[in-house]
């Protein structure tokens, strides 16, 4: 199924090459931009289908998105699975309720944290800490692409398992293989 995920991401124009600054502050020659996926319903269905199967198998009661990129993914997954959705802001809202967690989280219930791409894991870790502070149980985080830049280790320190549909290494390897096959 990884091949189908790679095809969907490529077809949706999610993989970009050049010089990019990542949210971690690091520079990279590859940028994975899942925001273009929402304009491509066919490819979005492929990715959401796999994410929903993965989240369902984890058995969490809530689906939690990480602001901002994880929110649309978590929304669609929660809708597909009929589960409540919540999301964690980067910082508490400065007006109204001043909440860090939006939705109706319930202490003692389990949540899986969802984001688009993991790099160092700081956004995912921040969400885990916020949810646990609200009394929720978090043991799993799910991303579409893991860049394998210490997120796994960071989450492991919190006792959280990281699940990805594909790693950046697998994605680039698949792209290289398909270019070789196209030439053959």
For residue range 47-93, what is the model confidence (pLDDT) as tens digits?
999 999 999 999 999 999 999 999 999 999 999 999 999 999 988 77
- Interior angle at CA 166, CA 42 and CA 175, nearest 5: 80
- Interior angle at CA 43, CA 23 and CA 64, nearest 5: 50
- Confidence (pLDDT) at 179: 59
| Rg over CA atoms, the chain | 16
- The mean pLDDT of 37-54, rounded to a whole number, is 97
Kindly report, residue by residue over 89-118, the tens digit of the pLDDT.
988 777 777 889 999 999 999 999 999 999
Query: 70 forms bridges with which residues in the sheet?
Result: none
- Confidence (pLDDT) at 48: 98
């Amino acid at each position: 199924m990884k091949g189908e995920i790679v095809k969907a991401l490529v077809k949706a124009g999610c993989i970009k090459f050049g010089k990019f600054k990542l949210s971690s502050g690091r520079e990279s020659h590859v940028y994975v931009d899942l925001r273009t996926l929402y304009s491509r319903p066919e490819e979005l269905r492929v990715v959401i289908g796999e994410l929903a199967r993965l989240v369902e198998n984890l058995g969490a009661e809530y689906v939690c998105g990480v602001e901002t990129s994880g929110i649309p993914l978590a929304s669609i997954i929660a809708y597909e699975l009929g589960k409540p959705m919540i999301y964690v802001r980067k910082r508490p809202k400065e007006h109204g309720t001043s909440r860090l967690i939006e939705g109706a989280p319930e202490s003692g219930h389990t949540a899986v944290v969802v984001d688009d791409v993991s790099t160092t894991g700081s956004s995912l870790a921040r969400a885990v800490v916020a949810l646990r502070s609200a009394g929720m149980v978090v043991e799993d985080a799910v991303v579409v692409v893991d860049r394998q830049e210490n997120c796994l280790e960071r989450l492991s320190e919190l006792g959280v398992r990281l699940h990805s549909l594909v790693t950046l290494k697998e994605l680039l390897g698949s792209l290289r293989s398909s270019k070789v096959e196209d030439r053959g």
